[in-house]
Amino acid sequence: MQSHPLQALVSELHEPVHPTVVMSNHVHVYVSQAHKGELVMGAGVDSYNGYGQRGSFHVIERQMAAAIELFPVFARAHVLRTWGGIVDVTPDASPIIGRTPVENLYVNCGWGTGGFKATPAAGWTFAHTIATGEPHPLNAPFALERFTTGALIDEHGAAAVAH
């Protein structure tokens, strides 16, 4: 498990221009407009390990270039603020949900850059695992043992990045 900075940014307030969440894997853009009017954008993960709750500026720069590629009108928006959080990344960029070699100790971690959206399914399958002592069929492939058997979820980078 490696800890990496992941950054996000918001613009100043604007009239409604963007009525839905848009995600483009092709240019790596994830953007929505908050009800108050800010454009909210997720940037990429920094390549290096870090606990400083900030990342490198070129990641923000690249993110804005990608967003403007997709929506040229965003070129008029000014960035209000950026921030970085720490995300825990596994070798296959997929979470670990299941038992551990220690009896009665379970893990639900390694969610990396995509753990919000998965919360309902993660909670449901994790509860099933703890209640029955066996993984639910949905989280069975996400066990810690996959790093020993080699049955990884996906190669790092090929994993779904949709937020």
Partner 1 sequence: MLLITCPWCGPRNETEYHYGGQAHVPHPENPGELTDEQWAAYVFYRDNPKGPFAERWMHSIGCRRWFNVLRDTATHEVLTSYRLDEPRPGGNR
Ligand X SMILES: Cc1cc2nc3c(=O)[nH]c(=O)nc-3n(C[C@H](O)[C@H](O)[C@H](O)COP(=O)(O)OP(=O)(O)OC[C@H]3O[C@@H](n4cnc5c(N)ncnc54)[C@H](O)[C@@H]3O)c2cc1C
Q: Which residues bind partner 1 (CB under 8 A)?
A: 1-3, 47-52, 54, 56-58, 91, 147-150
Would you say 31 or 143 has its CB closer to partner 1?
143
Q: Residue 109 touches which of ligand X, partner 1, none (CB < 5 to 8 A by kind)?
A: ligand X
Would you say 58 or 72 has its CB closer to ligand X?
58
Least gap, CB of 4 to ligand X (angstroms) = 9
Residue 6 as a binder of ligand X (CB under 6 A): the answer is: yes
CA atoms within 13 A on the CB side of 35: 0
- Return the structure tokens found at 104: 């009665």
Would you say 33 or 110 has its CB closer to partner 1?
110
Q: How far apart are CA 113 and CA 20, in angstroms?
A: 21
In order of 64, 90, 92, 118, 153, the CA distances from 108 in angstroms are 33, 12, 15, 11, 15
β strands within 20-78, DSSP E? 22-24, 29-33, 38-45
Q: Which residues from 76-95 bind ligand X, rule CB under 6 A?
A: 85, 87-88
Least gap, CB of 85 to ligand X (angstroms) = 3
Residue 126 as a binder of ligand X (CB under 6 A): the answer is: no
- Return the structure tokens found at 110: 């390694």
**Residue 100: helix, strand or coil by DSSP?**
coil
CA atoms within 13 A on the CB side of 157: 1
Q: Residue 32 touches which of partner 1, ligand X, none (CB < 5 to 8 A by kind)?
A: none
Q: Quickly count: other Cβ atoms within 10 Å of residue 74's Cβ.
A: 19
Q: Which residues from 17-76 bind ligand X, rule CB under 6 A?
A: 42
Q: Residue 147 touches which of partner 1, ligand X, none (CB < 5 to 8 A by kind)?
A: partner 1
Positions touching ligand X (CB under 6 A) are 6-8, 42, 85, 87-88, 109, 111-117, 163
